Amino acid sequence: MRRILYTIGYEGADIGAFLSTLDACGIEQLLDIRDVPVSRKPGFSKSVLETKLRDRGIDYAHLKALGDPKPGREAMRRGDYPAFLEIYTKHLASDAAQEALGAAVAIAGARVSVLLCFERSPKECHRTIVAAEMSELGDFEIRNIGVNAAPTPARLLGFHTGLAALNL
């Protein structure tokens, strides 16, 4: 049976909305594929994130070997996709990355899992490549998810306008 493998980026998200999104998808395992699992965004550095996930019954694993090395991140920031692709493809072929890829496939084959990185858009992130490789090895259906935004509070003006339209 084909399993679903989710991917998510936390760029522009707050930790509460991020965790709610994981809950809504039934995530059981987060696979952190950042090279450096530290963030300036509150709640997204490794130890704090791991604790918050554990409190929700979600397991955490950091797979450093699947992270995008610094030269790859720099190439992507410059918009040099061919250089990024060359750097990351070479990195992914390393023994350490292949071992981590095998571990990720085994974990995601057993539990509802999500690949985590920073970038909001999967098109601008190496997690798309990792997910594609995992799909080849483990026959996963890839679903890229965005962080659900918190509902916008209703404005009284809008509420009154709505009542007027109903002739109340």
For residue 21, give both structure tokens. Answer: 């999104």
Domains of the chain: 3-165 (3.40.1010)
Q: Whole-angstrom Cα distance, residue 108 to residue 142?
A: 11
Through-space distance between the first and last CA atoms of the chain, rounded to whole angstroms: 54
pLDDT at residue 149, rounded to an integer: 55
Q: Is the pLDDT of residue 67 over 90?
A: yes
Q: pLDDT by residue (tens digit) across 144-165?
A: 999 975 443 433 334 334 434 4
Query: Is residue 8 a contact partner of residue 130, using CB atoms and an 8 Å limit?
Result: no
Q: What is the pTM of this model?
A: 0.86
